[in-house]
Structure 1
Amino acid sequence: MDQQNERVKQFCNHPLRYVRMKPDNDTSRSRNCDGCGDDSGYGYNCGRCNIQAHVSCIGWPDIINHPCHSRHPLKKVSPETIDYTDGKCQFCRSPLVDLMFHCSVCNFSVDLRCWLKPAPLTIYQEKSHNHTLTLMARKDSFTCNACGLVGDRNPYVCLECDFMLHKGCINLARVININRHDHKISHTYQLGHGDWECGVCRKRMDWTFGAFSCSRCPSYAVHSKCATREDVWDGKELEDDLEDEEEKDPYEEINEKEIIHFSHDLHILRLVDDGIAASYEKKRCDACVMPVSSDTFFKCVECEFFLHKVCASLPRKKRNILHNHKLDLQYGDEYSGKDFECTYCQKHFDGFRYKCLSNYACMHLTIMLDMRCSTISEPFQHELHPHPLFRTSKEHKTCGACGEDSEYVLSCIACDFALGMECATLPRKVKHRCDDHVLSLHHGAGSSKGQLWCDICEGKTDPSVWYYSCDDCGVTLHIDCVLGDMNYFMPGKRYMGGELVSNDGMTRPFCIVCEKRCMFPFFLRGISYSDKTVVFACSRKCAYRGHNRWEEWYSKVNTL
């Protein structure tokens, strides 16, 4: 170009791409604007004609005719020169920031992208409707027959019958799996008479519009938009997948009391009789890492391996309301001496876990559920709240149990209450050395008067958040003080260079990091490199690499 301000003539009728002006490493040609020569900013590119330019450097036509607005021509204008529009494109609803084409008589605006790549005027898809659908440029609201939601403009309309679709519902999946239901669900354009409630958002449904329903569960249905949410659906269309995936059993039954579990297939597990179960009170289940005496359990006939009967029956693959892909049950150590972190409650744990192996992005992010989060289902009933709870949305909310913001919550549809996963999975009842009775979760001051105090740390207890208390003695205890941050680790196993030991001795040792007596149920015991003396860390927080004084632990203990 002789002059930098000379405009490029209007591009050809080929499809254009919106690109960044920068050197192209794949070709010898740099991506400079053919109008001004600059290589900064963004513009349009035609790969067939090998030309490109900034929006402002292209000689767009002054007047165009648009097939969706045949009554009047559209004139090229700048958005800032008109103050009576809503500032959005009639079709894509994106803000009008560049040049646009506009009809002042009808207040009709189209941005450059929708003019260059217009939506098809007519569509025929037998799966959506048995007539041809025509794109109508209109501003009045309408109700989509596929999803039942009100749209504000531009539906695809059947000119032969009263049928309208959002553009986004044209290619709506027909048969899918969602993480809220065990069976496949299919899309229908009419649910039929009934008092329907959405299985995801739990709101009432209009049976005259489209939704997803289950052929095996006559009362189950889900809004189309709720069923296809990214946190609910895995994105797979299953209409042509006629066969269900065959699931492997978690164990082989030898007789009424003996099994061979897939996680311990070299030995036989035998059901422990009630008469001798008490003798294993301090043993823990290798799956959920909770005391085995809390439920019926199996024991290996040859080694110290325990499984609750409930844990032994956990499926090898399952869906969960917290994740949109199917999860695989994992066991054993992935990394020697390393604990795991649950993606949803953020608690560190050991034992079995459900992990997402069906999606590369989830594998890269290590999406993982501990045993407590993996067993959460709907409706979720908690004894400290009178109404059932559901995973209705993916929005952050304030947890009603701890008062903290939580990313993953269960919500009440009857009142304004939300429960974060970190609090929803707390043990309802626990034993602690500070009291001879069983402790249970509480909230509120109850009949107590005055300030409440924690009998472990001797700090104040806030009655507005949940805490542990003894119904017989009336003691109040902070949840963190009762459980610590290694409650779901296996005693006797090594973590972060030390052995996990139960804090049930006559005296409590001193932590070499925080220099306080270890007050939690478990602590780490290590051997000092320098003088071979025994040293202790009272919590994962103190021993974790990254703590501002972690050298006090890692530089002294034997990590072998």
Structure 2
Amino acid sequence: MSSVGVFLKEEIDGKPFLVFTLAQTKNLTSSSGALAINSGSDNLPLQPLFFCPASRINFQNLNLTEEDKEKFRPFNSSPHFPNTRSGDQQGGSLLDCDQHGICKLPVVPLFWCNNKSPSSDEFMCGACEKIVLSTNYFACLQCQKNFHKECVQSPLEIKHPSHPFHSLRLYSYLKDFKTCFCCKVFNSMVMLYHCTTWDLSMHTVCAMRSIPFVVDHPKSHLHPLTFFPAQASLICSFCATIKKLDPTYICIECVFVIHEHCMGFPHVIRISRHNHRISFTSSLPSGNLFCRACHQQVDNDYGAY
């Protein structure tokens, strides 16, 4: 079975979100589908089982040369545990591998730490080696490692709302460090989603995190702000710049645009080069205005302190 990660609009606690969903290309009940278990109720669908992600990584890294470690290498093993060895060509090749470090059992849910932020003593993901909050966690009974749900279910391809024009492919990259364009953390990533066209990367957990479709942030704007995927040409009303890779929200009523990372900036600040507090304003007077710090001309159409 192959799958592609997509985002669908759903409500969480009465608020709209874009929620990651695995879009299956084959029905789970077919003879060539993934192995599934009953979730405990006749009214609930069968739940698919997944490979140990550490096995996928070990399988990916078999027989690597030093030259291979310097390249982005696309994953070719499905996260889904196959029904039979012949049922899934990619999964079957992983199950048939007799090398050390290839687990042959599906992972099981780890319920004790779901929906809470684990400490380093309680949890470290055996795939991404990060201690970050996830909605669910899994464990492998064979290698005794714990994993984020996102690392377990990571499909070979994701269509992400913040990067709508190119799909993100699941890669391994062992040689160097990359910066995740979602959380801005500079770290090594043995499993990462990457766009070769734009040279951007995401952690698996960041790539599957739910995105608020509407944000109510009164400190940044009076009206609710709506997520706008095609942000590549929009100038932020706050910082007056274009950031092609920064999630962007808009207010159609006010023709207002703001980057996600510009939300929450204080309206009043103090700086060492001025005796008084200075306030943010979204409306500047006409004329040639220059920044007192960098001495560059200020665009009157956008805000400033």
* Shorter-chain TM-score range: 0.3 to 0.5
Rg comparison, structure with higher value: 1
Q: TM-score, normalised by structure 2?
A: 0.47
Q: TM-score, normalised by structure 1?
A: 0.28
